[in-house]
Structure 1
Amino acid sequence: MTTLHLLPTIMLFHLLFLSIIFPFPSVASNNAQWQLLHKNIGIVAMHMQLLNNDRIIIFDRTDFGYSNLTLPNGKCRSDPSDKVLETDCTAHSVEYDVASNTFRALFVQTDVWCSSGGVIADGTLIQTGGYNDGERKVRSFAPCESPEDCEWQETDNALAVRRWYATNHYLPDERQIIIGGRRQFNYEFFPKRKITENNKPFVLPFLVQTNDKGAENNLYPFVVLNVDGNLFIFANNRAILFDYQNDAVVRTYPEIPGGDPRSYPSTGSAVLLPLKNLEAARVVAEVLVCGGARRGAYQLVPRGVFSQALDSCARIKITDPNATWVVETMPMGRVMNDMVLLPNGDVLIINGAKSGTAGWEKADNPALEPVIYKPNGSVGSRFVLQPASNIPRMYHSTAILVRDGRVIVGGSNPHEKYMFSNVSYPTELSLEAFSPQYLDSQFSPLRPIILEPSSHANLIYGEKFKMSIEVKGTLVPELLSVTMFAAPFNTHSFSMNQRLLVLSMGEVKVRGNSSCEFEVTAPGSAVLAPPSFYIIFAVHQHVPSEGVWIKMQ
C-alpha cells in the first residue's frame, strides 16, 4: 500500500493523538467561570449594545427616581413631564469599556424604559421609543475617538406613533423596521423614505391576532431577517414570514407545539441559528425558541401562584416549504432567559427564573445555572449545564457577547423602584463576565490568533480576502472555521439583530505546525449580512480566537 493510500489512516491517528494531548471541549469537561467585574455600575443594565470600539452602551429608565451614579460636571436633567423627578442629577445610562473594565456616566434626557434599537452601517446605535416623554423619540449614540466627547443625541417626534416594548430589525437597505409595542399593532421604518411613512404607520393584522387581552403576549415580538430577505416574525405562539417591502404575509407557520405563549410577558427567547453554506443555491435558516411562561401564568401571580416555567425549546427550519417545529427539553424550566450566540456556533441560554413570568415581582426561583445548547449535537444530548452564578438575574437582566469571547451579564430589577433590602431579589447594579469553557487555560494551545485581516478592515460583498492565523500548539486545518458575528441590541430576553454566519473557506496553506493562511469569502449580499460592523472569529477545534472587527459595505 502506498503512503498516499495511508493518508486517511494517518490523519485519523493524528486527530486521535491530538485529542488525547489537547482534549476537545465536551460535556465531560466544564471549566466555565464567572467573574465579578463591578459590584456597582450605578444603574440597572436593562438594555445593552456593543459598539465597534469595544464599548457597551447600557441604560435603564429615567422615571424611577435617583440612580446610584452622579452625572459629571454638575449636569442635571430637567424634565417637567417626568413622573417622579423634575430635576435629576444622576445618570441613567453608562458607557462600559470592555478592555479597561471601566465605565462613565452618560446623559440621557427622556425616558428610554423598555425601548428598542440597533446599530446601523456607520456603527451608530439608533435607539427608538420608550415611555412617557420618550415614546416617540429617536436617540443616537456614535462611537468616537475621544470617548469623553460621545453623548446621546435625541430627536423629537421622529416616530409616527409611541413605541414601548417594540422590536427593531436592521434591514439590508440600511433602515430599521420598528414593529409593534404596547397597543401598537403596526410597524414603521427609520429613517423614513416615503412621504406616506411620515404620517402614519403600516397596520400589521398579525399583531392583533396574537394579542392576548390582559396579558398582551405579542410585545417584544421575535423578529429575524430570513435569507430570502423577508422577516420571520414570532408573537405569542405563532409566526409568519413577512414581506415588509410589499406589506404582505408570505406564509404562515404552524403554531408552536403546546400552544403556550413565548413572547413578552411570557418571555421566552429566540435566536437565528448560525447560517452555513452561504454560497449554496439555497441557504438553510433555522430559528430556535426556548423557555417562557405557561398560558395563564401572568394572571395567576396576583393569587400567589408562580407557575413552573416552560422547559421546552422548539426549532424550525423557516426556509423549508414544509417547515415543522421539533421540540427538545431543557434541563430546567426557564422564563426571562437570554440566548447568546457564541463564536463557535453554540448557544448560551442564561439569566431568568424557573417559575412565574415577566413583570414586577412576578417571578420566583432564579435560574442560576446557564445552559449551552449545541445545535450540531444529536437530539437528546445538545444541552450542557454550566457553573452557576451566585447573583439572581431576574426581570430586566441582559447578556451580550464581546470580542474576547466572554459574555457580559448585568441587570435585574423586578421592582418599580430601586430596592436593595427587605425583598427576595434586590435591585442588582453589578456587572459580571461569564467565560465559556473554551476560554479555560487547558485550551490555550488550540486557541487561534488572527494575524490578518487587520482590525476594522473594509470588506465588499462576495469578496475573497486573505486570512492568516497561528496557534501555540499544533494546527489541525480540517478543524478550522471562520465565523462572523453581528453584535445585537439586547433587552427583555431578546437580542435584536443577533446573527452568526459561518464563512466559506478556500484551501488552507499550512506554514510549519502552528500557522496557516487561506482565503475566506465574505457574505454575498446584504440580505445575508446587512451593511455594518461585524466581528470575525477563527475557530479551531471548537475554540474561538479573539475576534477582529470588520465592516461590510
Structure 2
Amino acid sequence: MPYHSTLPFALLLAPFALATVSGSLPPVERHVRHRDLAARHPSLNQPRASTSSIPLGGFQEVGNSGVSAQMMFLGTADTVYILDKAENNSLTVKTGDGITHPAWGTSYDLTTNIATPMSVSSNTFCAGGFSLANGSWAVFGGNQWVTYQGVAVGDTINNPTAANPFDDANGGEAIRMLTPCDDGNCAWQEGGASLTMTGKRWYPTIEGLGDGSVIVLGGDTNGGYVSTVVQNNPTYEYWPKQPAGAISMDFLEETVPVNLFPLTWLMPSGKLFMQAAYKTIMYDMDAKVETPLPDMPYAVRVYPASAATVMLPLTPANNYEPTLLFCGGSAAPFNQSSDGGSGFNVTAIQADDSCVRITPEGANPEYTDDDPLPEPRSMGQFIYLPDGTLWLGNGVGMGTAGYGDEHWSFGQSYGQDPVYSPAIYDPNAPSGSRFSRVGLSDSAQERMYHSTAILLADGAVLVSGSNPNKDVSFTKWPTSYSVEKWYPLWYSETRPEASSFPKSLSYGGSMWNLTYTPTNSSSNPGNSKVVIIRTGFSTHCVSPDFPIRIVHSGISLIPAVLKMNFGQRYLELATSYTQESDTGLVTLHISQMPPNANIFQPGPAMIFLVVDGIPSQGQMIVIGSGEIETQQLSTTTILPTSSVIVSPTSNSSNSSTADDGVTTGTANAVTAAKSVSRRFFTFRQPRFGAAMSTKIHDMAVSGFAEGTNDTYDKVRPSYPSETLKTIHTAITSASSSRSTTPLTILEPGSGTGIFSRLLLSPPTPDYPTFNISTLIGIEPSVGMRRAWDRGLARVPADRVEGRHVRVVEGAFDDFGRTEVGKASVDGVIIAQAWHWCPDHSSAF
C-alpha cells in the first residue's frame, strides 16, 4: 500500500515532464476581571533589547507634526496627512482670502520628517474618514466653529464678542475630499451641496462598501460625554449621495447612551456587523433588517470606553472569513452618565483587560474569550504588521476617553495612568501566549486621548498625538506634537526584494508572478507570502459643540473620544511557488484578490512580500477598478503546485534531435535539463489545490493512422540514458524516507508505453533501484493504449497478476478510471513532449 503520511513526490524533466499530484446598558454593575498577569503572560517578564541607532522593538522621536495628530492617514508611501481640531496651534496657514490663522491640518513628509500646513476650512473635531475606490480620501462631520478653549463662535455667554480667530466654518455637516500627492500640490476640497451631509454628525462611523462608496453611520448633533435621546442622530446615509437620504436605524436608538462611533465592519455577505453599548447585530442594508447577535461580554468597547478593536488577518487558511477582536475598554456604569458628564469619578475606575473574539458569519457566531491584555487598557490601538502580527500601543490604565473641568480630573483628562509599553499580539499563537513583550521597550511619550498610529511602507509604525485638553495646553497632560516611529524587531534585517509588484489587483482573474532570491540558504519558500494592507484612517477623536455649562457647579465639560482605525484590513493572497535549487531563485505564483469585493473593499492599499517573517518595502497599490462602481468579479485561476527545481549536471557526448523535439544525445539532454527541464519535489499543495490541463493536442485523442501506432512505438527516439538516470535517482531519493514500501505511480499521456517500460526496467544495472507496485498509464488514444498493452506483453483484461500495471482511457484532467485517487498515489509522472499539453500552467 502507498504511504499517505507524506506528500507525493513530483518530477518534471522537459521536454519530457514529471509533474506532481498532489444593548442598551443593563442596570447591572459590571466588573473588571483581575488576574495574575505575570502568570498568564510569562513572556512579558523577559529581558528587553538594548537600543541602538535604530531602537529595534522601541520608539524613536523623528519629527514634529505641526498640529496635534488627532486624525492621521497614509496618503502615499512617503506622505502622511494629519488633522487636528480647530485650536490655537502655533503653526499657521494663510487661506485663499489672505487670512492667516492657526492650522489644524498638515502634510507630513516621511523622507524629511517635515510638516507643512494645509488649509482646512471647517472644524474637523471628531470627524470620521475613509478612502474611496478612486484613491481619494473623504472626511465626514466634525464640530461647529469655535474660538479659544473650544468656546463656540456666537456663544454670547462665553464669547461675548462672537470672535472667530481661527476662521473656521461649521464642520458638523461637512464632507472634505483630498486626493493625495507627493509634490505638495494637493488640497482639501469642501463646501457646496455635494459636500454636505443630511445633518450634523459628530462621532460618525465610516465604513467602505463593495462598490467603493461609503456608509456614514450615527453621530451626535451637540456632543457630550455620552449621547442622549435629544442629541442622538440615529440615522445613516451613503456617499456618494443616494436618493434615500438619511435612513433611520433602530439599533442607533436602542444603544443610547453609548453609541458614538459604533463599531462597524462590512462582512463578505454584504451585511454590516455592528456593536455599541452591549448590543450586537448584523444589519442587512438592502432589506433594512437587523438580526441580533449575542451581547458583548465584560465591558463596553465603544466610546467612551474605547477598546482596541480589529478584524484579524484574512487568509486562505481561514477562507477569508472575518474574525473580530475586542480588547480592553471599560465596565464603568455609563447608564449614570449624560451629555453633561460622567456622573462619577471615572478616573478612579480601572480599565478592562478582557479580550473576546467573534466570527460573525461563522457557524457559531458567539463571543469567546481570548488571551487577556497584559494590563487593563482604555484607548489602546491595534496596528497590523506585515508579518501578520499586530502591534498594540497607546492608551491609559485608569478612566476613559474625554476631558472636562472636574475636581477629580487629571488636569482636564478623564484618563490617567498612561500605558507606555507596547505589545505584540500573534493571532495564530497558542492560547495563553498570544501577547508578547520579548525584546520590546517603552515609549517616553504618553499617548492618551487624541493619539494616533498607522503602519508605514517600511514596516514601522508611526505614532503621534495626545491632547486631553480643550485647547493647546502645556500642563499635565500636555498637547503633544512629537512624532515617533516604532521599529519591529526585524526592521534591520535584510529585506526581500520582489522583482516587481503590480499597480493594481482585480477581484479574481489570472494569476501573476514575482521572483525573489532568498537572503539566506536556510530560507524555505513555503514561508513566503504576499499581503495586502489598508492602513486605515486613524482617529482618537472628541466631539464637543461648546463647553457645557453645569449651572450649579460652574464646571465646563468637553466631551470625549473613541480611538479606531476606520477601514484597516489585512489580506493574504493565495500563493504557490517554484524554486530553482541551483540559484535559489523563487518564483511566486499569486492569485488576484478573492472574487468578492466585500471581503476587501476597493481603493488604495499597500502590498508586501513577506519571506520567513521579514517583509519587503511596501508599495502602494489600487484594489479593484479604481472607480466607484460595481466591481467586476472573475473566476480565480487555480495555482500551480509548489515545487523545487533541481537541474542535473553531466558531461556531454554526441547528440541529435528528433522531429518532435525530443533530444536523443546526452549532451543536448543535459543542456536541455539545465535550461528548460525541471525536476519537482512537492513541499506543499497550492492553497486552492491544483488542476490538470483540459487542453490536449487533437492528435493525442485520435492517435496516428490505423495500424501505425506500433510503428511509431518502434521508431520514436527513446530517452537519453543520463536523463533516465536522473529520473530514477529522483524517484529513489523521494521514496527513501518511505522505507521499501512499493510505490504507486500514475503516468498521464503514457502513449505507447516507451517511458513506462523504461521506468519498470532500467536499461543498465547501475541505475538506482526502487519497487513499483502499481503503474497506471492514462492515454486518450485507443490505438496507443493497444500498443501500450502489446509493448508490455499485457492484455487489456489483465488487472491482477504480477505487478498492477495497466493503461486506462483518460487525459490530464481525468483520473477517474484509474480506480485510485490522486491523494492515494506516491507520484504522477508526465514524460512526453510539451506540445501534447499546450496549457502548461494548468497541467502543473
TM-score when scaled to structure 1?
0.85
Change over 3 Å in CA distance of 1:275–1:451 after alignment to 2: same
Q: Secondary structure at the match of 2:251?
A: helix
- In 2, are the aligned partners of 1:339 and 1:350 still within 8 Å (CA)? yes
User: Quick check: 1:92 aligned with 2:104?
Assistant: yes
Deviating more after overlay: 345-354 vs 534-543? 534-543
- The offset of 1:528, in angstroms, is 1.9
Question: Partner letter of residue 589 of structure 2?
Answer: E
- What is the CA–CA distance in structure 2 between the aligned matches of 1:117 and 1:304, rounded to whole Å? 29
- SS of alignment partner, residue 92 of structure 2: coil
**How far does residue 33 in structure 1 lie from its aligned partner after superposition?**
2.1
2:479 to 399, 419, 427: 427
The one-letter code of the counterpart of 1:163 is R
After superposition, residues 199-218 of structure 1 pair within 5 angstroms as 201-212=246-257, 217-218=258-259
- Tell me, what secondary structure is at the counterpart of 2:244? helix
Q: Which runs of 5+ in 1 are unaligned?
A: 9-25, 79-86
Unaligned runs of 5+ in 2: 9-42, 50-55, 145-169, 221-231, 404-412, 541-562, 625-844
Q: Is residue 356 from structure 1 mapped to residue 405 from structure 2 by the alignment?
A: no
Pairing partner for 2:271 from 188, 206, 230: 230
1:473 aligns with 2:514: no
CA distance, structure 2, for counterparts of residue 55 and residue 552 of structure 1: 20
1:290-344 superposed Cα distances (whole Å, 9 cap, x missing partner): 1112222776685475211101111111122322212231110000111111111
Q: Where do residues 165-244 of structure 1 align in structure 2 (5 Å cutoff)?
A: 165-182=203-220, 183-193=232-242, 195-197=243-245, 201-212=246-257, 217-244=258-285
Name the CA shift for 1:151/1:202 in 2 (closer, same or farther; >3 Å): same
Q: How does 1:397-436 map to 2 (within 5 A)?
A: 397-421=451-475, 423=476, 425-436=477-488
Partner of 2:352: 310
- Kept in 1, the 8 Å contact 2:66–2:115? The answer is no
Letter aligned with residue 111 of structure 1: N
1:499 to 569, 583, 593: 569
8 Å CA contact 2:347, 2:416 repeated in 1: no
2:293 maps to amino acid = Y
Aligned partners of 1:315, 1:399: CA distance in 2, in Å? 22
- C-alpha offsets along residues 468-509 of structure 1, whole Å, 9 cap, x if unaligned? 223432331121111111120111221111110011002333
| Residues in 2 aligned to 1:498 and 1:435: alpha-carbon distance in whole angstroms | 20
Measure, in 1, the Cα distance between the counterparts of 2:199 and 2:485: 37
Counterpart of 1:389 (choices 428, 443, 451) is 443
Change (3 A) 1:334 1:88: farther
CA RMSD after TM alignment: 2.3
User: CA 1:53–1:290 in 2, change beyond 3 Å: closer, same or farther?
Assistant: same
Instruction: Summarize the alignment of residues 39-54 of structure 1 with structure 2, pairs less than 5 Å apart.
Output: 40-54=64-78
Aligned counterpart in structure 1 of residue 287 of structure 2, from 246, 271, 276: 246
Q: Could you give the per-residue CA deviations for residues 420-444 of structure 1, whole angstroms, max 9, x where no partner exists?
A: 13x2x111111111111121x3x43
Larger CA deviation: 543-552 vs 105-114: 543-552
Q: For the residues of structure 2 that align with 1:227 and 1:6, how far apart are their CA atoms?
A: 35
Q: Please show how residues 58-457 of structure 1 align to structure 2 within 5 Å.
A: 58-62=82-86, 64=87, 66-71=88-93, 74-75=94-95, 89-132=101-144, 133-144=170-181, 146-147=183-184, 149-157=185-193, 158-182=196-220, 183-193=232-242, 195-197=243-245, 201-212=246-257, 217-249=258-290, 251-258=291-298, 260-277=299-316, 283-296=320-333, 303=345, 305-327=347-369, 328-360=371-403, 361-385=413-437, 386-421=440-475, 423=476, 425-439=477-491, 441=492, 443-444=493-494, 447-453=495-501, 457=503
Give the equivalent residue in structure 2 for 1:82: none
Distance 1:460 1:311, change over 3 A: same
Q: Which amino acid aligns with 1:364?
A: Q
Q: Tell me the distance in 1 between the aligned counterparts of 2:348 and 2:516.
A: 51
Could you tell me how far apart the structure 2 residues matched to 1:270 and 1:407 are? Answer: 17
Q: Tell me the distance in 1 between the aligned counterparts of 2:131 and 2:347.
A: 40
* 2:35 pairs with 1:35: no
Whichever residue aligns with residue 459 of structure 1, its letter is L
In the alignment, structure 1 residue 542 sits paired with structure 2 residue 542: no
Task: Note if contact 1:77-1:109 (Cα within 8 Å) is conserved in structure 2.
Answer: no
Rg larger in 1 or in 2? Answer: 2
The C-alpha deviation readout for 1:177-221, integer Å capped at 9, x for no partner, is 00111111111001113x232xxx111111111112xxxx11111
Q: Which string of whole-angstrom CA distances, capped at 9 and with x for unpartnered residues, describes residues 252-280 of structure 1?
A: 2211222x2110011112111011128x8
* Counterpart Cα distance in 2 of 1:498 and 1:42: 25
Residues 155, 545 of structure 1: alpha-carbon distance in 2 compared, 3 angstrom cutoff:
same
In the alignment, is the contact (CA less than 8 A) between 1:273 and 1:375 conserved in 2?
Answer: yes
Q: Give the structure with the higher percent strand.
A: 1
Question: Deviations along 1:351-378, whole A, 9 cap, x unmatched?
Answer: 0000000001100000100111110011
CA distance in 1, matches of 2:135, 2:576: 29
Number of paired residues? 498
Q: Give the corresponding residue for 1:14.
A: none
1:88-126 per-residue CA deviation (whole Å, 9 max, x = no partner) reads 522110011223322211000110000011111221111
Which TM-score applies when normalising by structure 2? 0.57
Q: Give the distance between the partners of 2:422 and 2:138, measured in 1 at CA.
A: 30
Deviations 1:73-93 (A, max 9, x none): x44789xxxxxxxx6522110
Kindly indicate whether the alpha-carbon contact (under 8 Å) linking 1:472 and 1:514 is maintained by their aligned counterparts in 2. no
2-structure distance, mates of 1:346, 1:36: 23
**In 2, Cα distance between equivalents of 1:462 and 1:535:** 18
| Secondary structure class of the residue paired with 1:473 | coil
Once residues 276 and 142 of structure 1 are traced to their aligned partners in structure 2, the CA distance between those partners, rounded to angstroms, is 30
Q: Secondary structure at the match of 1:207?
A: helix
- Residue pair 1:484, 1:537 contacting (<8 A) in 2 also: yes
Task: Tell me by how many angstroms 1:395 deviates.
Answer: 0.4
Tell me if structure 2 keeps the 8 A contact 1:301–1:356: no
Question: CA distance change for structure 1 residues 68 and 322 in 2, over 3 Å: closer, same or farther?
Answer: same
Supply the distance in 1 between the matched residues of 2:65 and 2:457 (Cα, whole angstroms).
21
Matches of 1:43 and 1:145, distance apart in 2: 19
Question: Match of 1:527?
Answer: 598
Partner of 2:729: none
